[in-house]
A and B are shown apart, each in its own frame.
Chain A
């Protein structure tokens, strides 16, 4: 973010000025354009933004699992516990993935291997990262984690197709947590599920967040979930963090990036009598075309000549940063 030298020691993860491109046959898609963020040990960060903002790309970049040949990190650094992950050999990443950083994927229907029993799929994490444990110990750990996510351990001999969607997501969560990672990347863990199951999974995650002291990056577009679950928020737009701060700072709605304000206006309020919600007009800028000026200019109600010409800097007050000309010198606020 604005000042990367600050608090370096206690930051678990520091992403600075990250640029990621996807090369397709007809165009280069700029998925992430100078994204920076920090996560402290044990911090629960909510990463909010609409589809295509680059949230999943960020998570895959951290694990260095971008699709081979297509996705490429062109600039920036991802420093994890003092090591720049982009400079590390693959062997270092193998020891990191699943043990120190693990990921919960969006769609539980497709993220489990259909031909391997769920018990073995969870066990694989232990086989890979804790080869010193005895067979009985590993098996016991698998039972334990299954119980914790609410699946009877007797079902570990079953195959993924024998479980419902919600149960599959519980298994994916069990798989991600069994090694007690320092950082958990949860990529829209409830999006593919129906509403009642969503609530169950969120309850489960809330329950588990105190049991494990992992830092979490919760990727979502549900501001309500973020308010309940997270300590800090980063709002992502067009592959950039346009606003960040604590949940209190952002949800106070005193000073917000126009995009964040727009998101809040899309939430129905039970206390007011508003007949219609106010959507954000327009669509996200075409990621194939590099943007001059502010990435939100086309949709912004406060857009000025300056916004079209120069990219706004991040203005930070008490750790609450907003990337908008409105808050710079000469701006309206």
Chain B
């Protein structure tokens, strides 16, 4: 069971990563000017009242003391409460996460499901019209930013054609356009990646060996080339999935979905430190776990990868 040991090791390695990320982020957030107490108490509040509230929030302690106190809480799974609406950070995050995960998973499924077959097919039919077409589409998708593409699609499908709701997260039709927009870039990279990788693999000597055994072209591709060409693609999927969670900030804002991205961007706008910190810690853990899963999948596919070393 070498993979369990490996997974545990990798999870333990997340701890220093989280410490680094939180220390940097906490320092920056604490150094930024913070008019929160005044904002909360209103314009009429006296200096004493503001000072008292800031004292209560612990804003007058040295940064390192505040950081250690905060992390001590995190270790007890106490992520604090929002400075704005006093909601529990953990509850708030848990409430928002399903939306973000749903969109991220759908977008990656869409990108992989469409992109990998397209890429592999255009590699097999290199220099064909299909190949040029898919390369063109990939370049087009690459060069369109999500905020622009999203807005244009809203105009076309939601306003002009009236097929889908413009924004919201109440019905399932709200979850058609956002994953497509979020996955557009990933789709482009999947097409390019799987094409390049397949082209590289079919030049290998062992593909010629397979042909010399009398295997038909389809069997050569499926049995011998596919698996080898997917190894770099899977690594890329992991990176894209992590990117999709980060990219949710843009997509969720455009489509008005109350996911983690919206939570984070609103918290940053209002300097709601506990929410920002909590969200970043959770996202770090999620990305770390996704990378771990990707590495485990790669180890299953490629026997040359030895998890023990």
A positions within 8 Å CB-CB of B:
63, 65, 69, 93-99, 102-103, 105, 107, 110-116, 124-125, 128-129, 159, 161, 172, 175
Contacts and interface: CB of A to CB of B under 8 A. Distances in A.
24 contacts: A63-B211, A63-B212, A94-B214, A94-B216, A97-B211, A97-B212, A98-B213, A102-B213, A110-B204, A110-B206, A111-B209, A113-B209, A114-B302, A114-B303, A115-B227, A115-B303, A116-B224, A124-B210, A124-B223, A128-B213, A128-B215, A159-B304, A172-B209, A175-B209
A71 to B, nearest CB: 12
A239 B216 CA distance: 29
Given A114-B303, A115-B227, A98 B212 contact: yes
B253 interface: no
Interface in B46-61: none
A102 B212 contact: yes
Interface residues of B, number: 21
A111 B205 contact: yes
A107 B205 contact: yes
Interface in B159-183: none
Contacts of A161: 303-304
B228 interface: yes
Given A114-B303, A161-B303, A97 B214 contact: yes
Q: B interface, by DSSP: helix, strand, loop or mixed?
A: helix
B206 A65 contact: no
B212 A65 contact: yes
B301 interface: yes
Nearest to A63: B212
Contacts of A115: 227-228, 301-303
B215 A113 contact: no
B304 A113 contact: no
B51 to A, nearest CB: 67
Contacts of B210: 113, 124
B223 to A, nearest CB: 8
Given A115-B303, A161-B304, A125 B213 contact: yes
Interface string B185-214: 000000000000000000011101111111
B182 to A, nearest CB: 32
Given A159-B304, A161-B304, A112 B209 contact: yes
Contact of B211 (A65, A95, A107, A112): A65
Given A115-B227, A115-B303, A95 B204 contact: no
Interface in B270-304: 301-304
Nearest to A96: B214
A273 B167 CA distance: 93
Contacts, number: 72
Contacts of B227: 115
A96 B214 CA distance: 7
A124 B215 contact: yes
Nearest to B210: A113
Contact of A111 (B127, B208, B216, B228): B208
B214 A114 contact: no
Nearest to B303: A159
Contacts of A93: 214
A266 B207 CA distance: 36
Given A102-B212, A110-B206, 17 more contacts: A65-B211, A65-B212, A94-B214, A98-B214, A105-B209, A105-B212, A111-B209, A112-B206, A113-B209, A114-B302, A114-B304, A115-B302, A115-B303, A128-B214, A172-B209, A175-B209, A175-B213
Contact of A103 (B212, B223, B302): B212
Given A114-B228, A114-B302, A124 B209 contact: no
Nearest to A109: B205
A175 B206 CA distance: 12
Nearest to B216: A94
A99 B212 contact: no
B128 to A, nearest CB: 11
Contacts of A116: 223-224
Given A65-B208, A110-B204, A124 B213 contact: yes
A110 B209 CA distance: 9
Interface in B107-129: 127
Given A111-B205, A114-B206, A115-B228, A95 B214 contact: yes
A97 B215 CA distance: 8
Contacts of A175: 209, 213
A128 B214 CA distance: 7
Nearest to A175: B213
A116 B224 CA distance: 8
Nearest to B302: A115
A119 to B, nearest CB: 13
B120 to A, nearest CB: 16
Contacts of A63: 211-212
Nearest to A91: B216
Contacts of A102: 212-213
A69 B125 CA distance: 12
Nearest to B231: A115
B214 A99 contact: yes
A93 B209 CA distance: 14
A110 B212 CA distance: 14
Contacts of B214: 93-99, 125, 128-129
B44 to A, nearest CB: 72
B6 to A, nearest CB: 19
B228 to A, nearest CB: 6
Nearest to A124: B213
A159 B209 CA distance: 16
Nearest to B228: A115
Contacts of A172: 209
Contacts of A99: 214
